[in-house]
């Protein structure tokens, strides 16, 4: 648990963070959300003492960070800066190995750790270990940045808009990837963003900041249901209808009338399925879905199988709709970070949900 206790950072002509008190729970993602210049980066950097506060205390698991050696403190915390900041003169392996190297690990152990982490962030070690940062795409760099922050297995991760400078599609898949990672690793993450969609998708709790102060901290649902003031309402409740889709997680609105079958089962007994929709899953691979009604009219079963998009359960409805519209597919299968199928979504369904919410 990280506790910020009336932390203030004052510069000569400006108070960047103003009496901020905040409790960040373990093993969850806490988002710092707020407009540009509201003090998010400053807050993050005070936790690892890159910036010393003017007053106030910060404790990690009850110990004041000011009682710790700042160098050791930083080595024990994973940090992803706003610009990623991979070192261009080190290979990917060298970058991942920075903190382990500072901690005195041997070469072999660092190599093994780097391989392990690249696997974890879905980059083939045999390809990427020897690559130079300038040979990486934006998305690959971000993954390596996350791997580097995880290198020495820190309990606490500080991430400053780690997926900021990247196109929306890659951004979405990085967010999905990060959620899967977190469901395995369960780290204490402080994640800065000014993207509301990202906050709602990733955040277990969202701390909303304004002018260096904490306005409100709560779960997404609680924030939506009981916004503390007009600022929060404005920030979250972008009043135009389409933007509202940003505020709802796909998982909460899926159509659960489906059954899962293997292709073989569907061939044999699909017609007798209870649900109107059959999702075909062979092992880990979800190959498509079939509307039960079509099974009787189609001669070739393969023809009845529809392709679909996969959307993370944490994704916002806006992301689900965008994905569907971009792909031109009829339905999205909504899947949990651990692979469980939660249900399906289609554009007409979302329209209906919005109509209900509007009322």
Partner 1 sequence: MNAFQYLGRNWPEVSAKIVQHLGMVGIAVAASLVVGLVLGIVVSRPRLQKVGRAIVGVTGVAQAIPSVAVIALMFVYTGIGPRTAVIALSIYGVVPILFNVSSALLLVPADMREAAGGMGMTPLQVLMRVELPLASQSIMAGLRTTVTIDVSTATVASVIGAGGLGDIIFVGLSVVRPDMIMAGTLLVASIAILSDVLLALLQKSVVSRGLSIRS
Ligand X SMILES: Nc1ncnc2c1ncn2[C@@H]1O[C@H](COP(=O)(O)OP(=O)(O)OP(=O)(O)O)[C@@H](O)[C@H]1O
Q: Provide the edge-to-edge strand list for the sheet that holds 2-11.
A: 14-24, 2-11, 55-60, 63-64
The residue at minimum Cβ distance from Mg ion is: 41
| Residue with Cβ nearer ligand X (14 or 109) | 14
Angle at 202 between CA 196 and CA 207, to 5 degrees: 60
99 binds partner 1 (CB under 8 A): yes
Interacting residue with ligand X among 41, 314, 316, 344 (CB under 6 A): 41
Q: Work out what residue 177 binds among ligand X, Mg ion, partner 1, none; the CB cut-off runs from 5 to 8 Å by kind.
A: none
Interacting residue with partner 1 among 37, 52, 64, 87 (CB under 8 A): 87
165 binds ligand X (CB under 6 A): no
- State the nearest-atom distance from the C-beta of 359 to ligand X, in Å: 35
Interacting residue with partner 1 among 16, 30, 43, 48 (CB under 8 A): 48
Closest C-alpha among 174, 89, 176, 98 to residue 139: 174
CA dihedral (24, 25, 27, 32) positive or negative? negative
Give the Cα separation of 217 and 23 in Å (integer).
Answer: 9
- 58 contact partners, CB below 8 Å, separation of at least 6: 2, 3, 4, 5, 7, 46, 47, 64, 65, 66
Q: Which of residues 56-75 bind partner 1 (CB under 8 A)?
A: 71-75
Question: Measured between alpha carbons, how far is residue 103 from residues 77, 108, 137, 144, 207 in Å?
Answer: 12, 14, 29, 19, 33
- The alpha-carbon radius of gyration of the chain (Å, integer) is 23
82 binds partner 1 (CB under 8 A): yes
- State the nearest-atom distance from the C-beta of 212 to ligand X, in Å: 7
| Phi/psi at 150 (5° precision) | -90, -5
Interacting residue with ligand X among 2, 4, 18, 42 (CB under 6 A): 42
H-helix or E-strand containing 139? helix 138-150
Q: Work out what residue 320 binds among partner 1, Mg ion, ligand X, none; the CB cut-off runs from 5 to 8 Å by kind.
A: none
239 binds ligand X (CB under 6 A): no
48 binds ligand X (CB under 6 A): no
Question: Measured between alpha carbons, how far is residue 357 from residues 93, 224, 244 in Å?
Answer: 49, 12, 9
Interacting residue with ligand X among 24, 39, 139, 147 (CB under 6 A): 39
Task: Convert residues 185-214 into a mask of x (bound to Mg ion by CB under 5 A) and - (unbound).
Answer: ------------------------------
41 binds Mg ion (CB under 5 A): yes
| Residue with Cβ nearer partner 1 (81 or 286) | 81
| Phi/psi at 334 (5° precision) | -100, 125
Closest C-alpha among 277, 272, 243, 238 to residue 257: 277
What does the binding site for partner 1 look like in residue numbers (CB under 8 A)?
A: 45, 48, 50, 71-76, 79, 81-83, 85-91, 98-99, 102, 132-135, 148
> Interface with ligand X by CB under 6 A: which residues?
11, 14, 16, 36-42, 194
């Amino acid at each position: 648990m990280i506790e910020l206790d009336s932390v203030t950072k004052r510069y000569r002509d400006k108070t960047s963070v103003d009496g901020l008190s905040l409790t960040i729970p373990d093993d969850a993602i806490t988002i710092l959300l707020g407009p540009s210049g509201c003090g998010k980066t400053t807050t993050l950097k005070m936790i690892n003492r890159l910036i010393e506060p003017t007053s106030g205390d910060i404790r990690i698991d009850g110990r004041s960070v000011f009682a710790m050696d700042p160098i050791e403190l930083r080595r024990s915390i994973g940090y992803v800066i706003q610009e990623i900041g991979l070192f261009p003169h080190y290979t990917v392996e060298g970058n991942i190995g920075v903190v382990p190297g500072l901690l005195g690990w041997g070469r072999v152990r660092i190599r093994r750790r780097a391989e392990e982490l690249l696997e974890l962030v879905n980059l083939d070690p045999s390809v990427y270990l020897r690559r130079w940062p300038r040979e990486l795409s934006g998305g690959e760099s971000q993954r390596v940045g996350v791997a580097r922050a995880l290198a020495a297995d820190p309990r606490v991760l500080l991430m400053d808009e780690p997926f900021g400078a990247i196109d929306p599609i890659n951004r979405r898949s990085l967010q999905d990837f990060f959620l899967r990672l977190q469901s395995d690793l369960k780290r204490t993450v402080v994640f800065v963003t000014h993207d509301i969609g990202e906050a709602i998708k990733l955040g277990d709790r969202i701390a909303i900041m304004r002018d260096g102060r904490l306005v409100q901290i709560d779960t997404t649902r609680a924030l939506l249901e009981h916004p503390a003031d007009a600022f929060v309402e404005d920030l979250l409740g972008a009043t135009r209808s389409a933007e509202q889709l940003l505020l709802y997680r796909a998982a909460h609105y899926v159509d659960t009338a489906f059954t899962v079958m293997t292709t073989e089962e569907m061939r044999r007994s699909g017609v007798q399925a209870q649900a109107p929709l059959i999702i075909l899953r062979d092992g880990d691979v979800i190959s498509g879905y079939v509307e039960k009604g079509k099974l009787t009219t189609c001669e070739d079963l393969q023809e009845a199988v529809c392709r679909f998009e996969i959307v993370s359960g944490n994704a916002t409805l806006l992301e689900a709709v965008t994905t569907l519209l971009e792909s031109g597919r009829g339905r999205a299968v909504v899947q949990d970070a651990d692979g469980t199928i939660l249900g399906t979504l289609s554009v007409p369904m979302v329209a209906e949900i919005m109509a209900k919410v509007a009322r």
